[in-house]
Amino acid sequence: MLRPRKQKEDTRSVYEKALGLLARREHSARELKTKLAVRGHPPGEASEAIDRLKDCNYQSDERFAVSLARRRAGQGYGPRRIEAELKSHGLGDPAIRDAITAVDIDWPTAASAQLRRRYGANAPAERNERAKRADFLLRRGFDAATVRAVTRADIGDPGQDSD
């Protein structure tokens, strides 16, 4: 006969739980607070633990922002999409600007790479196809000026050979 398992009681402190979360990946302070609240920890205790982690430099919103911005840029997202995601994590505008600047990426080149990955190297033949590609880039988070430059470059750039 099978006996029901006794659930192991977790006796770790709020600080230790938060540190465990940070050991896996960077988290924003807001994200840590939310995860600790879901685990049943009072907001006051969670805030104290997060402040302690910040004092030890284990948690940094700036480091989190740069990490997320690099990861999303590597996945092919543009600066507007990255900015929106960082705002959802409770980061301020200066930290967001610094993180996007720290990525140090050529956004038009990244947008062109996304177009080639999605649609191949062929230039769009029709206007509605060009609009479809522009919409794709806008959804990925590239700004309108970059999208306009990249989609026009794909079809009418005199430096490219057309077959």
Tell me the per-residue pLDDT of 110-158, one tens digit each, with 9 for 90 and over: 999 999 999 888 877 788 888 899 999 999 999 999 999 998 754 444 3
What local confidence, expressed as pLDDT, does residue 7 receive? 45
Domain 24-49+59-103 adopts which CATH fold?
Answer: Arc Repressor Mutant, subunit A (1.10.10)
What local confidence, expressed as pLDDT, does residue 2 receive? 54
62 contacts 95 by C-beta, under 8 angstroms: yes
How far is CA 42 from each of CA 14, 30, 52, 143, rounded to the nearest angstrom? 9, 14, 16, 41
Residues carrying CATH 1.10.10.10, the chain: 24-49+59-103, 107-156
Only one residue has tokens 């720290």, namely 102
Tell me the per-residue pLDDT of 53-84, one tens digit each, with 9 for 90 and over: 999 999 999 999 999 999 999 999 999 999 99
Domain 107-156 adopts which CATH fold?
Answer: Arc Repressor Mutant, subunit A (1.10.10)
